[in-house]
Amino acid sequence: MTKRFGAVRAVDDLSLDIPAGQTVALLGPNGAGKSTGIRLLLGLLAADSGTVRVFGGAPETAIRSGRLAAMPQEGGLVSRTTVGELLGFVSGTYRAPLPLREVMAVAGLEELAGRRVERLSGGQAQRLRFALALAGDPELILLDEPTAALDVRARREFWESMRAFAARGRTVLFSTHYLEEADEYADRVVVIDRGRIVADGTSREIKRLVSLTTVSVTVSAPETAWLELLPGVTSVESRGERAHLRTRDADATVLALAEAGAVRDLEVVPAALEDAFIALTGADA
């Protein structure tokens, strides 16, 4: 699918197929096309070209049937109602809703049923938005930056709820700027840049694409220029007596260090998802 806004191609001939049962993280820098892609999947925007199908039909059909639901990055909640009242009202709009008790259990809201919506904390309000998306018992849920502005505890509680939903064999597609969330919770990571998919695979596979590992050693001599000449090394950063070598071939780098008698307090750290993300979406990508 392709979507333009004037001269800008927000989504540029993007093809994505998601099988049932996967939890998929959609990553990309600001303006990469993530939110536009999600809006296209929800039928909130029409593609300029290409086709969008959810469960074999139009997104609107999947939404009306309750098979597709979404949790927006932000969204107002009806005040002067309790959590239970609001969830009960929304559940009543579906022909085959998920039982209210089960919705509250999955979202972690059992103890908050009688609380007024305006008295919820940020994390509790976000769990309520998640519960509202669950009300129709969807098979697929789309989450746009679901933990934005939440503190660490609230983010952890939210993902515990999400794990409970995914454990029921449901499909999750979420966008996030918290790369550790994608690393920990996603079965599959899709990286988008300038409206196109630049990487698609498991977190481990994405990290392997850039093949960057950090090898750290303690050096006694202040001169470290020779380290840059070691096989595989792309850059060297010195912090006191510690030298941190970025390398594309950790085995060759460590062997060369050993041959030079420079293996002291050796530490080898594989590339993080953040390293791969920067390499794949940077100006030189």
Under DSSP, the state recorded for 210 is: H
* Separation of alpha carbons 89 and 79, rounded Å: 13
Q: What is the pLDDT of residue 57?
A: 96
- CB 158: neighbour CB atoms within 10 A? 23
Is residue 65 located within the same domain as residue 185? Answer: yes
The enclosing H or E element of 185 equals helix 179-185
Is residue 133 located within the same domain as residue 262? Answer: no
CATH number for the domain that contains residue 263: 3.30.70
Task: Look at the alpha carbons of 69, 73, 75, 77 in this order and tell me if their dihedral is positive or negative.
Answer: positive
Which domain covers residue 140, as residue numbers? 3-201
pLDDT in tens, 188-229: 999 999 999 999 999 989 988 777 889 999 987 777 889 999
Q: 3-state class of 148 per DSSP?
A: coil
CATH number for the domain that contains residue 91: 3.40.50.300
Is residue 257 located within the same domain as residue 163? Answer: no
- CB 62: neighbour CB atoms within 10 A? 22
- Asked if pLDDT for residue 54 goes beyond 70, the answer is yes
Is residue 168 located within the same domain as residue 130? Answer: yes
Please name the amino acid found at residue 109: L
Least confident interval from 147-156, 174-183, 185-194, 265-274: 147-156
Is residue 150 located within the same domain as residue 272? Answer: no
Is residue 35 located within the same domain as residue 176? Answer: yes
pLDDT in tens, 70-117: 987 777 888 899 999 999 999 999 988 999 999 998 888 999 999 999
End-to-end CA distance of the chain: 23
Q: What is the pLDDT of residue 284?
A: 56
Q: How many domains are there within the chain?
A: 2
Is residue 110 located within the same domain as residue 194? Answer: yes
Domain boundary among 185, 201, 217: 201
Q: Using an 8 Å Cβ cutoff, are 285 and 279 in contact?
A: yes
Which tokens in the block code for residue 31? 């303006």
Is residue 187 located within the same domain as residue 239? Answer: no
Which tokens in the block code for residue 59? 């997104």
pLDDT in tens, 223-265: 788 999 999 998 899 888 899 998 988 999 999 999 988 778 9
* Separation of alpha carbons 17 and 34, rounded Å: 15
Closest CA to 77 of 108, 121, 110: 121
- Asked if pLDDT for residue 283 goes beyond 70, the answer is no
CA angle 53, 58, 59 (to 5 degrees): 85
Which tokens in the block code for residue 282? 């940077």
Q: What is the pLDDT of residue 151?
A: 83
